[in-house]
Amino acid sequence: MSKHCPPGPAAVRLVLLLLLGQVSSLLGAQNVNPQKKGATAAEKAIDILVPSAGIIVDFGIPKRFGSTGGSYLGSGAQVQSRTLDVPASGEGVLLFSQQKKLLETGFPHSGDNLIALAHGNGFVSVYSSPTLSFSEEMKKNVIARDERIGTIGAANGTSDAYFYLRIVDTRSRLLVNPALFTSTMVDRAAPRIEEVSLIRDGFQLKAEPARRVLQRLIQGDYRLAVRLGDPSYAGGVVSGLFRIKIVLDGQVVADRKFDSAQNADEGLGFLSLPAPSFKLADRDGRFLLGSQFLARGNHSLELTVYDFNSNAGSFTWRFIVE
């Protein structure tokens, strides 16, 4: 189930296209391993250094917040820094900073301190952490790549300190998966498909392929709800979900990637689906994918999910529609 492909020429071409901002319309459905070999101008502008301590990419992962039970999709990566320093991902200028102030301002922030750096080619990198404190280098006009922009505090007195990183391509109005900019991310753990359900108007049929009798449901339009997980590899690397492929009765009905999210007026558009992204997740932490009409007869649904390093997990469900 789990595999690790070496980068090939096709993958290098794909990364170049990604970084030139022409990705969304050109991405195909082929297996890719977008780890890079060459370096374009854009790659030089943004080059996230992933310390061996760890990275957890949560791009597209459902999350919950608040007492009202709101949900949304993650849009970046938690990066563990070995030295508690937060390095600049590329040469840039300070665009925005947010930290605890001397005065109580009207607009609150989420509790995280935040630094946004503007780089060349329209890229912006955003660093946030509740313990992020700004360094003196931030006062300079231009911050060099790898230069320390701040420090983070360790949680519970350990070295387990993370900052959250998001990458924005302002010219293409995209929030980009940070995994696309990492060069050293070894993840051999396959993603898990924890739940597959078909839902319609309050009705829900949860897949139980271990049952001897085929499950049955009535004809109609159904949405596919799936709960996915990507376990960490070697205790610290989660390359993150990157692709979802759905085959119904031998036909590919969806093959979508978590490469970027469109900055649309209605919010973030993940998986090339309409914004806002919170409509793609329910309160149980499941993805709610597109609607599909299921006609009477026997059906076979195959779901395959890939992480960024092309490790795959798959699930096959046979059922009867009456």
Partner 1 sequence: MREHRRSGRFRRGIVYALASLLLLLLSQRPILPRPELVMSLKTVPTSQNRETVQTDSSVFKAAGRSFIIRPDQQGAQEFDENTSSLLWEREFGSIITTAAASENLSAWGLLDGRVFILDHDGVILRIIDPHQEGIASAHPCIYALAMSEQGESVAILYGILPQYVLVYERKSGFYSLSYSEELQGDLRSAQSAAFSADGQDILVKTADGLFYFDRSKGKGALLHPDRFAGEAELLIESLGDTGFALLKATTDERYAGIIRSGALEAYFPVPPDSFGLSASEDSFKIKGAEEDLVFTRRDYE
151 sits near partner 1 (criterion: CB under 8 A): no
Binding mask 114-143 for partner 1 (x = CB under 8 A): x-x-x-----x-x-----------------
Torsion angle, alpha carbons of 93, 95, 96, 102, to 10: 50
Q: How far is the CB of 315 from partner 1 (least distance, A)?
A: 29
Question: CB 130 → partner 1: shortest distance, Å?
Answer: 10
Sites for partner 1 among residues 54-113 (CB under 8 A): 63, 65-68, 70, 72, 74-75, 93-112
CA dihedral 11, 124, 53, 236 (to 10 degrees): -70
Least separation in angstroms between CB 12 and partner 1: 30
Residue 231 near partner 1 by CB under 8 A: no
d(CA 163, CA 296): 50
Q: Segment near partner 1 (CB under 8 A), from 39-47, 209-217, 270-278, 302-310?
A: 270-278
**Spatial CA neighbour of 60 closest among 222, 183, 243:** 243
Give exposure, 249-259, as e/b (b: 16+ Cβ within 10 Å): eeeeebebbbb
Q: How far apart are the C-alpha atoms of 62 and 87, rounded to whole Å?
A: 28
The letter for the amino acid at 160 is D
- Using CB under 8 A as the binding criterion, the count of chain residues that bind partner 1 stands at 50
By the rule CB under 8 A, 180 interacts with partner 1: no
Shortest reach from residue 117's CB to partner 1, in Å: 10
Determine the Cα–Cα distance for residues 72 and 60; give it in Å rounded to an integer.
Answer: 9
Under the rule (CB under 8 A), what is the footprint of partner 1?
Answer: 63, 65-68, 70, 72, 74-75, 93-112, 114, 116, 118, 124, 126, 168, 170, 173, 175, 261-268, 275-278
